[in-house]
Structures are given as C-alpha cells and as structure tokens.
Structure 1
Amino acid sequence: MEEREVVRSLAALAQPARLQAFRALVVAGEQGLTPGAMAEALGLPASTLSFHLKELANAGLVTQERESRNLIYRAAFGQMNALMAYLTENCCQGLACLPAAKPCADC
C-alpha cells in the first residue's frame, strides 16, 4: 500500500459518522448492509449517510453492489488489512509486541 492510499484511508476514517459506518460494515461481514439498515442503526439521515459512504468508497474502504432493487455496502477487508499491515509493518523494530493480539480465526 502506498503512503497516499494510507493517508486517504485514514482521512476517510477520521470522522465519527464514517468511522461508525465502517465499523458497522465490518461487523456485518460479507453479508453487508443496505443504506437503509445502516441509517436506521446509526441514527443518520439517508442523505448524510450517502455522503459518508461515498467518501469511504473513494478511499477504497467500502464496496457497493446492486442486488435486485437494493444497494449492498460491504467493508473492503483487503484494503482494511493492507492499511493495518502498513501501520504495523515496522512495529517494535521486528520484535514481538506486548500485549500480543489474539489472531482472528476468520481472517
């Protein structure tokens, strides 16, 4: 991942509503969520959520797919993992960090 992509991703997440929307999509997993379900869960107007989802999509953090008459948004787990890898690439000068994080069984 290039530095400019990292900056774009972090900038997109540096807003409370976008961070909440992204986290909701991470929790939803591969099933994803419709904008209506997200707006209701987050207590955001649809137009506001649409703006935030567009920003997350521009940063490559979410994907959008049409299923029948619905739009489904999903977290872009590959991009999220690339961002995390970039941020932790040189962690602790290559030594084991404390406390050690438990590996994700589904990742």
Structure 2
Amino acid sequence: MDKSAALVAFAALSQASRLDAFRLLVQAGDNGKLAGEISEALGARQNTMSTNLSVLLNAGLLRNEREGRAIRYFANMDGLQGLLGYLLQDCCGGQPELCAPLIAEITCQTSTCGEAK
C-alpha cells in the first residue's frame, strides 16, 4: 500500500459509523453481513449506511457479494493487512524485538487480544 491509498483508508475509517461498520464486519469474519443487518446492528438508516459502506468499499477495506437483491459485505483482510503493513513498514528501526509485543497483539497471541480498549 502506498501513502495515497493509506490516506484514503484512514479517511474512510475517520468517521464513527464507518469505523463501527468496519469493526462489525471484522468480527463477523467469513460470514460477513447483509447491508440491512449492518444498518440494524448499528441503528443507522439504510441509505446512510449504504453510503458509508461504499466509502469503505472504495477505500479497499471491504468487499461485497450480491445475493439476489441483497448485498453481503465482508471486511477485506488484504486491505487491512496492507494498511497495517504500511504503518509498520519501517517499524523499530531494524530492531524487530522491539516490535514483538505489537505484532503479538495484532495477531492475537496475547492474553488481552480482542478485549475492548
């Protein structure tokens, strides 16, 4: 991921409803969620959520699949990996042991992984 794409992704995540939708879809995993389910879970109007999902989709953070008349959304883990990779690209100035706690947390190898912060 380059700087320009990272800025688009950060801009997409910088709004509360979009961040909540992205996190919900990360939690949903491979099952994803229908657009209506996302709206309902977050208490948002469907047309507003549709716009927010489009922003996340265009930023490469979501992917979608049509199911008849409905659209199912999924977190694009490749997009997330690209964003995290961009952030950590030059991590720790050649001292990977300094990044070990951060990497362990990101990859859920710690006892606190998944806890609300």
TM (norm. structure 1) is: 0.90
Q: Does 1:27 align with 2:27?
A: yes
Identical residues among aligned pairs (%): 40
Distance 2:100 2:87 in 1: 17
Letter in 2 for 1:97: L
TM (norm. structure 2) is: 0.82
SS for the counterpart of 1:97 is helix
SS for the counterpart of 2:60 is coil
Matching residue of 1:42: 42
Number of residues of Structure 1 aligned to a counterpart in Structure 2: 105
Structure with greater helix percent: 2
Give how far 1:69 is off. Answer: 3.1
Matching residue of 2:98: 97
- Judged with a 3 Å threshold, the aligned counterparts in structure 2 of structure 1 residues 98 and 78 are, in CA distance, closer, same or farther, namely closer
Letter in 1 for 2:31: Q
Which stretch of the first structure deviates more once superposed, 68-77 or 22-31?
68-77
The RMSD of aligned alpha carbons is 1.6
Deviations 1:46-67 (A, max 9, x none): 1110110010011111111112
Which stretch of the first structure deviates more once superposed, 95-104 or 18-27?
95-104
Letter in 1 for 2:54: K
Matching residue of 2:115: none
Give how far 1:21 is off. Answer: 0.3
Distance 1:14 1:81 in 2: 18
Matching residue of 1:86: 86
Distance 1:104 1:70 in 2: 33
Give how far 1:98 is off. Answer: 6.0
